[in-house]
A = this chain, B = another copy of it.
Amino acid sequence: MKIGVFDSGIGGLTVVKSLLEHNLFEEIVYFGDTARVPYGIKDKITIIRYAIEAVEFFKNFELDLIIVACNTVSAYALDEMREVSDCPVIGVVEAGILATANALKDKTSNILILGTKATINSKAYEIGLKAEGFHNLQAKATGLFVPLVEEEIYCGEILEATFRHYFSQTTSPDAIILGCTHFPLISDALQNYFSKDKILIHSGDAIVEYLEKNFDFNVKYNNPKLEFFASENPDALKAVSKKWLNI
């Protein structure tokens, strides 16, 4: 299988990392819309327009599947992408909901959903989790986590002050959905804040779980062909790919 991975910027590389660890695909084409990043502060209409343009870009590659690594796009634009795509399109939100349902047997579990302003406003996780029988939900837009991670702040006093800012009214949860590709990079700090026993739902792991459940993978590809595209500054994407993916 030859797949496309779409993200608003570089964050989707955390999803590529999970895919590579499982050697599921022969060829991965990554597209990060770095010239218009971030999407999480933008309008539904704009996000849909950009997502449709990404599908058009991917048509150059005759893909078998498109994985939307960006939670914001997954929350708003999946139906519209499917309408224009020649291949199936799956997103990290639906995968994250199923991974949460698999991880939590107790339907009264308290689940904290974190995401960008757009993702949280969409209520995509809440609607999906309620359909799975969960009702004890807290949702919090934690938009500052994105620029903090992009400044490589993964711990320390700014992040701790930001946690207090966002979570002063938050009940300690049983599970935390890291509903943005940037958030796994501060998962240790989040666990230090809330305590180590929290179940963390990571978009990359969730998508692998979803794929293994829904597709047959008979062959393992140890050296998949990788192609990376960015709408600006491909050198920055190259540098981060090398660092995060060890390639």
Contact = CB atoms under 8 A, between A and B. Distances in A.
Interface of A: 34-37, 41-43, 45-46, 143-144, 146-148, 150-151, 153, 156-158, 160-162, 164-165, 232-233
Nearest to A235: B43
A147 B157 contact: no
Given A143-B151, A144-B148, A150-B41, A232 B46 contact: yes
Contact of A164 (B34, B36, B157): B157
Contacts of A36: 35-36
* Number of chain copies forming the complex: 2
B232 A43 contact: yes
Contacts of A147: 143-144, 146-147
A44 to B, nearest CB: 9
Q: Indicate the member of A35, A143, A160 with the most B CB atoms within 10 Å.
A: A35
Contacts of A146: 147
Contacts of A45: 232
A166 to B, nearest CB: 10
A88 B165 CA distance: 45
Give the 6 A-B CB pairs with smallest separation, nearest first.
A46-B232, A158-B161, A157-B161, A147-B147, A43-B233, A43-B232
Contact of A162 (B43, B158, B160): B158
A158 B150 contact: no
Given A37-B41, A158-B165, 10 more contacts: A35-B46, A41-B150, A42-B232, A43-B232, A46-B232, A144-B148, A158-B158, A158-B161, A160-B161, A161-B161
A42 B35 contact: yes
A162 B233 CA distance: 27
A212 B2 CA distance: 61
A34 B45 CA distance: 12
A233 B42 contact: yes
Contacts of A143: 147, 151
A182 B163 CA distance: 23
A35 to B, nearest CB: 5
14 contacts: A35-B36, A35-B42, A35-B43, A42-B232, A46-B233, A143-B151, A144-B147, A144-B151, A147-B147, A153-B165, A157-B164, A158-B158, A158-B162, A160-B161
Nearest to A45: B232
A160 B158 CA distance: 8
